Structure 1
Amino acid sequence: MTGYDDKPWLAAYPPGRPPHLRRAFSTALDMFDAAVRSAPDAAAIHYFDRSLRWAEVDRAAEAVASLLIARGFAPGDRLALCLQNNPAFVVGLVAAWKAGGTAVSLSPMSTEADLARSFAAFTPSALLVLDDLYVDRIRPILDTGDTGVAVVVTTSGLDGQTEDDPRIFADVDRRRPADTVDLAALVDAHLPGPGVLAALAQRRVGPSDVAVLAATSGTTGPAKGAQLTHANLAFSAQVYLDWSGLAPGEPVLGLAPVFHVTGLVGGVCLAMIAASPLVLTHRFEPAVIAAAAARRRPVFCAAVITAYIALADSPDVDAADLASLRLRYSGGAPIDPDVADRLEERLGGYIHNIYGQTETTSPSHAVPPGTRAPIDPDSGVLSVGVPVFDTVVRVIDDDGADLPVGEIGELVTTGPQVIPGYWHDPVATADAFIGGALRTGDVGFMDADGWFYVVDRKKDQINAAGYKVWPSEVERLLAGHPDVEEAAVIGIPDEYRGETVKAFVVPRPGSTLDVDAVIAYCRANLTAYKYPREVEMVAALPRTATGKVLRRALR
């Protein structure tokens, strides 16, 4: 008996919180439709100085879905969304579902080459995209004739608001490409009728249908298409709702990118299931986020820890601006305890850990509201939380056998949020999913009370002369140096040890820190095989669009 079947984590659940979730909806579209029925005239989206009502979002999505069907969009076809945190993302997402299809969520920060690969992999037949991105990066791809995109709808980040905040839109102009359909004009001209409604009624999606194809973050290799089903989204949205205690109608701050699973589920889908307004700001800029929070008084937000760090480091952000945020969550990367303490002091609220992957439709673990995550006394790691409703997580060894409590191994997750696999990639699916369970690739352990701790990525482990070195341990030490802004650690080839440790260090502004001082500091505080033999001082670390450090790029 290894302890996982006993589910010791249930003791950490707040009083009255059941271990099982009573699901209110079977599809994500059902969630949206319920919000429209219950609160048609309530705000669905706040975007700078303007708001969209639920009925208006519904009508806009209906207009796009009707266009798609008229242009030959078939059930199961894919609508690619390449947008920032704009109202158009929500409209396009619902439109894809109304038309019986799947939304493909693409990062607007992608290069032309990355976008071309995504089009080849996911074969969308339609596209909703920012007009400047279309002109600059996507039109050349479509001009090759190698894609199946039959219709392109464009929008501008300037649409839907009148403030034109220069902190966000200084370099943005409306382009209105003549070879595309303009979203605003399409919606204005839309006249719903019985024929339209009948056509859409025939396209109803089911729980097992793929709602969103989400590209994995690609920190360890090329991005794959995670198939998020309607059942996955409906379950995980309700997990956020029931776990956090968000009340219906309480505003949700879109702090994470909506094209990422955290922003999609912990932002867009949570707002749908709670019939709550979603506060969007096109893109992340600390002062603009703070101003939006002060104006709209959101209660919930979820984002990677780097977003909170940016807010804390901005001289233009006051903790009072964020005072309404009763429920603050961070996922995507482990949080250093010292960083968590600093953010709480600077931003005026405790940030609860959440943990999961794109493949678990966001949360598999979370820290219960009102509870502070424990710190492992041996490793100094802050817990990522306990498994959420209906979720079982095990820690296994390299042979797939359960490890005892406290021993480090790979985390394997089973639950209703685990996706069925990757889009058209049976090899990757077979490698990651075993009997419906996800091999996360993350290494960690469970303590006797059922709290889980993530040590590192399995693929990032360094083998120095047979000794295991976890990069995160060295990174935590470096983060504690007063002259280090941030650091990342990788393994590099070494003739004597096979592998050895190399650190990339970003010094604090004004610091005179040098390589020798960093090595000496690490040597004095780490076991001999763990301290970095090489150190490179850099101005910044490469990151994904969602803030994760790209160790692959450093290698």
Structure 2
Amino acid sequence: MAAQTMSRSEGHDGRTLPNEFPTALAMFRASAAAAPDAPLVRYFDTTLTFAEVDGMSDALAVALSEHGLARGDRVAVVLQNIPQYFPVVLAAWKIGAVPVPINPMYKRRELHVILADSGAVAAVCLESVAEELVAAAADTDVRAIFTTSELDLQTRDDPRIFAASERRRGTGTADLLETIERYRGRRPEPVDLGPDDLAYLPYTSGTTGPPKGSMSTHANVVFTAQVYRDSVGMAAGGGMFAVAPLFHITGLIGHIAAPMLTRCPAVLTCRFHPVAAADAIREHGATRIIGAITVFIAWTDAAEVAREHLASLQSVFSGGAPVPEGALAAFRDKFGHYIHNGYGLTETNSPAITVPFGAAAPVDPESGAVSIGTPVADTVAEVVGDDDAVLPVGEVGEIVIAGPQVCAGYWNKPDETSRAMPGGRFHTGDVGLMDADGWFYIVDRKKDQINASGFKVWPREVEDVLYAHPAVREAAVVGAVDRYRGETVKAVVSLKSGAEADEDGLIAFCRERMAAYKVPRTVEIRDELPKTVTGKILRRALRGG
């Protein structure tokens, strides 16, 4: 078969994107030298400049060194979307250490697994997490814990965000900001970092097994920060509204590294509240955003959020979950903004495939899926079969990514690395196809396919039909045990504010639009669907529920 008929595509228009800096630290320092007074972080009524964050991170780097931390050591970071994240990351880099971002919602057992596996020797956490973290650190290598509060570095105390916040100093911990003040004005000894040194050690979600540390190098981080600049349209000024958690790969690259490169400051609100977030975008004139589609659905459904709240946005991207065409259209009707798709994973350091900024994604006529885009510069994406051979255009298989964004492997797991990334080609576990023009489409995750009496059903296709119903706000489809069919199709939906629908009507709506074996046998209506902290709907929490 001719090569051009195979499902293989290289980066946008064949462009290359060589790394402009050897490390992420060098990238930050170039921006700080060029514009020291430029804002890097905005947080309610506080702005931190490049120079201020540089000084804070110098002081903290000295403190970490005096606690015995050195090149290659790991520093656990257990924080929400607060300004302290920036000096902590930079301080680690300045001594050659590696930040290990951890979800602050994790409990003792989950924290212990990552602390022990990563071999972290220090941790920075929220005051509210300190008790759990101190307990979790028992029998690990952690010997220094610094705490801080989301109430720090702002004075507004917005009750929509901070109503439940309170100050509490953890026993056996040191206050982060007090430590920075104690070492203010001191600078760490220089460390000779290189492109292959680790910049981050984020852990995968563990949905297919125990969490694995994804080894993100400085070269990975610089490359993907440049991708944000060039493919997502980030530029100096305005602001990147940081809606993705900073401990997530989208936050680590799109909300921390990319602002360091582009001098487009991160706008933080600690956590997502639809109206408070919209207010922050208007107040700070944020121009960019990348977030899960559930964020945009929440704004579409919120009567208090009007078009003028989001008027300053110039670039709107969604990642982490597929974008249903109905949700895209509803957001555009209300706010006038087109949502560009972006696709990546922890192992690809955020975007590997995107809809180019300013372009509109095609919709697959067979499945109704909105395209996730085309590969970014210097990146090869393929669709392969079970034998790892590249499939013809239009055939469904696993998406495989190769390029400068693919991580160096899994921390201390060579066997899992070789299975998932043979030859540096990362097998994503996402099932999709490529059309004749090189656009990619996600069908579903391999493990989510439903087998109903031998008929294969992809939940994504059924979900897209449900999203087209005028009353449906969110939808998730899973396989449910069925004594006759083995599995059957079950849908769980939430409704738009003020809308009405019932199970029979939703089933009938689907029956008119798809083959009988794909139609949900049951539809459960809930007020809210369970989600991850990044906004992805948790299908696994709905199976059998």
TM-score normalized with structure 2 length: 0.94
State how far apart, in whole Å, the 1-side matches of 2:81 and 2:172 are. 24
State how far apart, in whole Å, the 1-side matches of 2:367 and 2:214 are. 32
Does 2:157 align with 1:169?
Answer: no
Partner of 1:89: 85
Q: Does the aligned pair in 2 maintain the 1:219–1:550 contact within 8 Å?
A: no
Q: Does the aligned pair in 1 maintain the 2:6–2:392 contact within 8 Å?
A: no
Please give the residue correspondences for 1:300-449 in structure 2 after superposition, counting only pairs within 5 Å: 300-449=288-437
State how far apart, in whole Å, the 2-side matches of 1:309 and 1:520 are. 24
State how far apart, in whole Å, the 1-side matches of 2:141 and 2:309 are. 46
Give the residue type in structure 2 aligned to 1:529. Answer: Y
> Aligned to 2:245, which of 233, 249, 257?
257
Worse overlay, 300-309 or 177-186:
177-186
Give the residue type in structure 1 aligned to 2:56. Answer: A
Superposed displacement of residue 483, structure 1: 3.5
State how far apart, in whole Å, the 2-side matches of 1:532 and 1:178 are. 53
Superposed displacement of residue 217, structure 1: 3.0
Partner of 2:476: 488
State how far apart, in whole Å, the 1-side matches of 2:214 and 2:540 are. 20
Give the residue type in structure 1 aligned to 2:491. Answer: A
State how far apart, in whole Å, the 2-side matches of 1:345 and 1:184 are. 45
Give the residue type in structure 2 aligned to 1:362. Answer: S
Superposed displacement of residue 496, structure 1: 3.3
Superposed displacement of residue 106, structure 1: 0.6
Superposed displacement of residue 510, structure 1: 5.6
Does 2:144 align with 1:151?
Answer: yes
Q: Does the aligned pair in 2 maintain the 1:131–1:177 contact within 8 Å?
A: yes
Report Cα offsets for 1:111-143 as digits up to 9, x if no partner. Answer: 3332222222222111111112213x223323x
Q: Does the aligned pair in 2 maintain the 1:44–1:54 contact within 8 Å?
A: yes
Worse overlay, 496-505 or 361-370:
496-505
CA pair 317-416 structure 1, distance change in 2 beyond 3 A = same
* Secondary structure of 1:208 counterpart: coil
Superposed displacement of residue 260, structure 1: 0.8
> Aligned to 2:126, which of 107, 113, 130?
130
Give me the identity figure in percent. 47
State how far apart, in whole Å, the 2-side matches of 1:21 and 1:40 are. 26
State how far apart, in whole Å, the 2-side matches of 1:549 and 1:221 are. 18
Superposed displacement of residue 532, structure 1: 2.3
CA pair 239-508 structure 1, distance change in 2 beyond 3 A = closer
Q: Does the aligned pair in 2 maintain the 1:238–1:273 contact within 8 Å?
A: yes
Q: Does the aligned pair in 1 maintain the 2:292–2:319 contact within 8 Å?
A: yes
Give the residue type in structure 1 aligned to 2:154. Answer: Q
* Secondary structure of 2:221 counterpart: helix
Worse overlay, 251-260 or 537-546:
537-546
Superposed displacement of residue 474, structure 1: 1.1
Superposed displacement of residue 265, structure 1: 0.9
Report Cα offsets for 1:388-436 as digits up to 9, x if no partner. Answer: 0000101011111111111111100000001121112233222211110
Does 2:534 align with 1:546?
Answer: yes
Give the residue type in structure 2 aligned to 1:146. Answer: D
Does 2:128 align with 1:140?
Answer: no
CA pair 4-241 structure 1, distance change in 2 beyond 3 A = farther
Worse overlay, 379-388 or 184-193:
184-193
CA pair 528-6 structure 1, distance change in 2 beyond 3 A = closer
Give the residue type in structure 1 aligned to 2:4. Answer: G
Give the residue type in structure 1 aligned to 2:481. Answer: P
CA pair 111-347 structure 1, distance change in 2 beyond 3 A = farther
Q: Does the aligned pair in 1 maintain the 2:16–2:378 contact within 8 Å?
A: yes
* Secondary structure of 1:295 counterpart: helix
Superposed displacement of residue 315, structure 1: 2.4
State how far apart, in whole Å, the 1-side matches of 2:447 and 2:460 are. 13
State how far apart, in whole Å, the 2-side matches of 1:75 and 1:320 are. 48
Unpaired stretches in structure 2, ≥5 consecutive residues:
none
Partner of 2:261: 273
State how far apart, in whole Å, the 1-side matches of 2:306 and 2:365 are. 33
Superposed displacement of residue 78, structure 1: 0.7
TM-score normalized with structure 1 length: 0.93
Q: Does the aligned pair in 2 maintain the 1:485–1:508 contact within 8 Å?
A: yes
CA pair 236-23 structure 1, distance change in 2 beyond 3 A = same
Q: Does the aligned pair in 1 maintain the 2:7–2:391 contact within 8 Å?
A: no
Give the residue type in structure 2 aligned to 1:237. Answer: A
State how far apart, in whole Å, the 2-side matches of 1:204 and 1:352 are. 38
State how far apart, in whole Å, the 1-side matches of 2:3 and 2:478 are. 32
Partner of 1:3: 4
Worse overlay, 280-289 or 495-504:
495-504
Worse overlay, 287-296 or 299-308:
287-296
Q: Does the aligned pair in 1 maintain the 2:6–2:393 contact within 8 Å?
A: no
* Secondary structure of 1:402 counterpart: coil
CA RMSD of aligned residues (A): 2.0
Superposed displacement of residue 152, structure 1: 0.8
* Secondary structure of 2:281 counterpart: helix
State how far apart, in whole Å, the 2-side matches of 1:355 and 1:381 are. 14
Give the residue type in structure 2 aligned to 1:496. Answer: Y
Report Cα offsets for 1:28-72 as digits up to 9, x if no partner. Answer: 111111121111122211111111111111111122211111111
Superposed displacement of residue 511, structure 1: 5.7
CA pair 222-539 structure 1, distance change in 2 beyond 3 A = farther
Across the two proteins, how many residue pairs are aligned to each other?
Answer: 542
Partner of 1:53: 49
* Secondary structure of 2:47 counterpart: strand
